[in-house]
Structure 1
Amino acid sequence: MLNLIRKNLDFSVFMFTQATSNLGDSLRIVVMPLLVLHLTGSALYVSAIALLETAAYFIFHLPFGAVLDRADRRRAMLLADVGRGILMLAIPLLWFSDVPVLASLFLITLLMSILSSLFGAGSSALIPRLVQNDDLTNAYALFEAAESVAWIAGPLVAGALATWFGLASALVVDAVSFFVSASGLIFINIPPPEAHDGTESIWARIADGLVILTKVAPLRRIQLYWTLYGIIGYGAITGFVYVGSQGGASGPALASFAVSAYALGSVFGTLLAGRPHLAKITHAIPISLLIFAGGALLVASSWRIGMLAGALFIGASEGFFLVLYLARRAEATPDRYMARIGSIAAMLARLASGISVTWMGVMLDRWQGTGAFGTMAALAFILAGVVLLGGRKARPSPELA
């Protein structure tokens, strides 16, 4: 797997510069809510910022995906990175001036979300252009592992910088991370997208992408399985925080350790998925879902060690499944639809996340961690059965089982 880093310089540069950018993203996710709370003392404003960011994402992500299937993806991503870096640098400058900072944060959040939608639409289509099909699983395994490590380190870096230099000044690191990402895009060689007729409207292209997603059976199947998993599992971190803190009645230590165990498990899972003899095991996805279910049962036990072990298993199974999903989605998607399918998948992930966090919150409120994670385990068992039966019905090759 590490041979890919040595033999493919373009992929290596993209992976390491994006890991740096992800470090900045994870830092910003910690610092921005704290900035808003410092200014207002109200969680309502924090929620309003998050809602604005999500709304802009839903409005712009799909159209950007349609546009970037017929445009220079690297140039669009480069402009998005430079723009986001400038916006992040503006926050500490505004913080130490006399302008209304809160109103500026709302405007910056809106612009950041638009530019992030542009970057994300291009990024989802980029890795399949940088590596051969035979290397897709390894590439996604390395890329997702690097991202997981960055998200482990980011909150720690955020806390240290905010303590030493202040909240606003800490965002300079996020700005620098965007410029690092932009510099990587300058130096990598990305093959141009396929030539095609450019007379279709954006909405016709989006509709065309939806048709491809529903008609190409392997693509439809793997997207359905991952979306169903998202509905089941994306609320796990919310559950870890609730169970680990006993509903807020105790300190955050156990909750923090559980989230860290989950992130560490994700690193292991993504790297394991890059091992060909493991990724190509027949019924690899149902097996990973059974491991997920076992982890959920451990968390449901309310045993402290069991909770940490369960979080580790949940993270590992999710990371493993994620790499297989990304690789198989890319293999089943024609290049001219890559950005559109990536954008549609991202929208489905956002929707699944909202559903998952909602049902997890309701279950935690009514039946505590035992009921919530017990339900999660049962749903994962059911999904494992659905995937197993779907694979048999489709009669896939061992690589796609």
Structure 2
Amino acid sequence: MTNSQLPSPLRTAAFRRFWLSRAVSGLGSAVTTVALPVLVYRESGSPLLVSLVAAAGTLPYLVFGLPAGALADRVDRRALMVAADTLSALALASVPAARALGVLTAAQVVAVAFLASGLALFFDAGGYGLVPALVGKERLARANSALYGAETVVRIVGSAVAGGLIALFDPAGALALDALSFAGSALLLRALGSAGATADRPAAEARPAAEARAMTGDRPGLVAEVREGLRFLAGHRTLRTMTAVGTLQSFSGGAVVGQLVVLADRGLGLHGADGRIGLLYLAWSGGGIGGSLLLPRLRRRFGAFELLLGVLPAGALLGTAVVLATDWRICVPALAAWGTAYLVVLVNTMTYAQEVTPPELQGRVNTARRTLSSGLGVPLGALVAGTVTATAGLRPGLATAVVALLLAAALVWSVHLRDTRGLRRRAAVRTG
């Protein structure tokens, strides 16, 4: 049976519950993404603290990324994810509770933002190993596309309704809804029950030798296990290359999203409260939905590495169109198409990593990758693009995103051409 003939992952009860848990909590988190900066600014009036809330979304990757992956490979993954969702619900619920008691401070809001992002990291670390166990490696591309597609849709919907919810409940009240969404997600994960049993055991049990070490207590320490994951990542040439591509891709995403407001104002003549500014964000996110639908079809025709040979140059070309656009009617469709290419690369590289990584290393290898992309690539891209825009202008600032994609394309093509020459030399030796 070919991959296209396999039933949809959403027809698997355990994965369907997991998918629903991500959609529910993602909707609440989309509201929180808007509500937290508004709340901390109301409490403090400080732009610096607002920036700290934004930084809290990526800083945990640098602080906890590698230990989180090692922990996820040691323990019951599903239990880790339930605990992360439960603690997230409690942390977020503390904000409206403190507001009701009249003791809420901006420092608490910033701390909750950091804690929630850190807990999400531990949740993701468990999910990297749980998803392949639920659907099998043959359906990973379709499963990840379904997850990212749902995440994109709920992010759009959540962002769209956030303003109304903030006005209705105030920002602290809006966070209570997110707390409820995490509680609902935890209940759905608990309901996986025996359907998710293969993913519930410690990853060490995936191999008899590792299981024996666990039973005798003779297993390496956390630092040694982190190193084991890093050695696998560094020693797998294709995965190493695709990790570099994913980091450059994330750099480009951070660069373009961080400059969308400036693009609207200085490049497209959309000033102040012009509603068309929202179309830029909608185009980028909407393009992601297209990418989630397109990836499974592309993976049926092309290998994971082969796919990058065409999509990365296409993304650079579409990015160039955005950089040069002076009319929003040209920029919006170009940005949507770029967003499609962006998500195809993002999910493709993640799926490949899950396909080639042994079960007992899933958490460590994939959180290491995520630390480089989300923890380093996204904020670095935003920082570099913002600095270049401030010193050299909007177009050069946006062009940093295109340069990152061109570097990624050059990397995969250089590897491909080197491999092709090697194959030809070996063929010539055999025929000679």
Same structural fold, with TM-score higher than 0.5 when normalized by the shorter chain: yes
The total of aligned residue pairs comes to 397
Q: Distance in 1 between matches of 2:68 and 2:407?
A: 35
Matching residue's letter, 1:324: N
Shift of 1:351: 0.6
Q: Do structure 1's residue 293 and structure 2's residue 313 form an aligned pair?
A: no
1:76-131 C-alpha deviation (Å, 9 max, x unpaired) = 11111111112212211211212243243244334334422322221222211111
State how 1:203-218 maps to structure 2 within 5 Å: 203-218=223-238
Q: Cα RMSD over matched residues?
A: 2.4
| Matched residue, 2:390 | 365
| d(CA) in 1 for partners of 2:28, 2:248 | 30
C-alpha distance after superposition, 1:233-259 (max 9, x if no partner): 331111222101228981253332111
Of 37, 47, 53, the residue aligned with 1:43 is 47
Give ranges in structure 2 of 5+ residues lacking alignment: 424-432
Tell me which of 126, 130, 135 is aligned to 2:134: 130
Seen in structure 2, the aligned counterparts of structure 1 residues 57 and 200 have a Cα distance that, compared at 3 Å, is: same
Letter in 2 for 1:201: G
CA distance in 2, matches of 1:329, 1:346: 11
Q: Deviation at 1:356?
A: 0.8
* Residue of structure 1 in register with 2:276 after alignment: 254
Of 97, 100, 113, which residue of structure 1 is paired with 2:101?
A: 97
Aligned-partner Cα distance in 1 for 2:56–2:405: 32
Equivalent in 370, 375, 382 of residue 346 of structure 1: 370
Equivalent pair of 2:270/2:277 in contact (CA under 8 Å): no
- Which residue in 2 is equivalent to 1:200? 220
Q: 1:243 aligns with which of 256, 259, 263?
A: 263
Cα deviation, residue 55, structure 1: 4.3
1:283 maps to which residue? 306
Q: Structure 1 residues 370 and 186 mapped into 2: Cα distance closer, same or farther (>3 Å)? A: same
What's the CA shift for 1:375?
4.3
SS at match of 1:251: coil
Distance 1:281 1:329, change over 3 A: closer
Q: Is the 8 A contact 2:30 2:154 kept in 1?
A: yes
Q: Residue 264 of structure 1 aligns with which residue?
A: 286
For normalisation by structure 1, the TM-score amounts to: 0.92
Distance (Å, rounded) in 1 between the aligned partners of 2:62 and 2:241: 23
Cα distance, 1:102–1:379 mapped onto 2, change above 3 Å: closer
Shift of the 282–106 alpha-carbon distance from structure 1 to 2, 3 Å rule, reads: closer
Contact 1:194 1:336 in 2 (8 A): yes
The CA distance in 2 between the partners of 1:311 and 1:296, in whole Å, is 7
Contact 2:128/2:354 (<8 A) preserved: no
Identity %: 26
Q: Distance in 1 between matches of 2:288 and 2:10?
A: 24
| Aligned residue in 2 for 1:322 | 346
Secondary structure at 2:261's aligned position in 1? helix
What's the CA shift for 1:6?
4.7
Mark the CA change 1:190 to 1:159 in structure 2 (over 3 Å): closer, same or farther: farther
Give the counterpart letter for 1:137 in structure 2. A
Q: State how 1:2-401 maps to structure 2 within 5 Å.
A: 3-51=7-55, 54-188=58-192, 189-191=196-198, 192=201, 193-195=203-205, 196=210, 197-198=213-214, 199-246=219-266, 250-252=271-273, 253-275=275-297, 276-280=299-303, 283-301=306-324, 302-349=326-373, 350-394=375-419
CA contact (8 A) 1:20 1:181 kept: yes
Mark the CA change 1:13 to 1:35 in structure 2 (over 3 Å): closer, same or farther: same
Q: Measure the CA separation in 2 of the matches of 1:61 and 1:277.
A: 32
Given residue 219 of structure 1, which amino acid in structure 2 is its aligned partner?
L
- Tell which deviates more after alignment, 60-69 or 111-120: 111-120
Which shifted more, 26-35 or 278-287?
278-287
How far off its partner does 1:306 sit? 1.9
User: Match for 2:387: what amino acid?
Assistant: V
- 3-state DSSP of counterpart to 1:283: helix
> In the alignment, residue 215 of structure 1 is paired with which amino acid?
G
Instruction: Give the superposition deviation at 1:174.
Output: 0.5
Q: C-alpha displacement at 1:384, in angstroms? A: 1.7
- Is 214-223 or 101-110 further displaced after alignment? 101-110
2:427 corresponding residue in structure 1: none
* Worse-matched range after superposition: 70-79 or 372-381: 372-381
Distance in 1 between the 2:173 and 2:350 partners?
A: 36
Q: Is the 8 A contact 2:58 2:379 kept in 1?
A: no
Q: Counterparts of 2:111 and 2:251 in 1: how far apart (Å)? A: 31
In structure 1, how many angstroms separate the alpha carbons of the residues matched to 2:405 and 2:282? 22
CA gap 1:394/1:129 in 2 versus in 1, 3 angstroms: farther
Amino acid corresponding to residue 315 of structure 2 in structure 1:
F
What letter matches 1:360 in structure 2?
A
Query: Deviation string for 1:111-167 (max 9, x for gaps)?
Result: 334422322221222211111111111111111111111111111121111122221
1:14 is paired with a residue whose SS is helix
Contact 2:288/2:339 (CA < 8 Å) preserved in 1? yes
C-alpha distance in structure 2 between counterparts of 1:307 and 1:20, whole Å: 32
Cα 1:174/1:279, change in 2 over 3 Å: farther
How far apart, CA to CA, are the structure 1 residues paired with 2:9 and 2:141?
A: 13
Amino acid at match of 1:221: T
The change in CA–CA distance for 1:44 and 1:21 in structure 2 (over 3 A counts) is: same
Provide the rounded CA distance (Å) in 1 between the counterparts of 2:98 and 2:61.
25
1:77 to 1:239, Cα distance in 2 relative to 1, 3 A:
same
- CA distance in 2 between counterparts of 1:375 and 1:29 reads 26
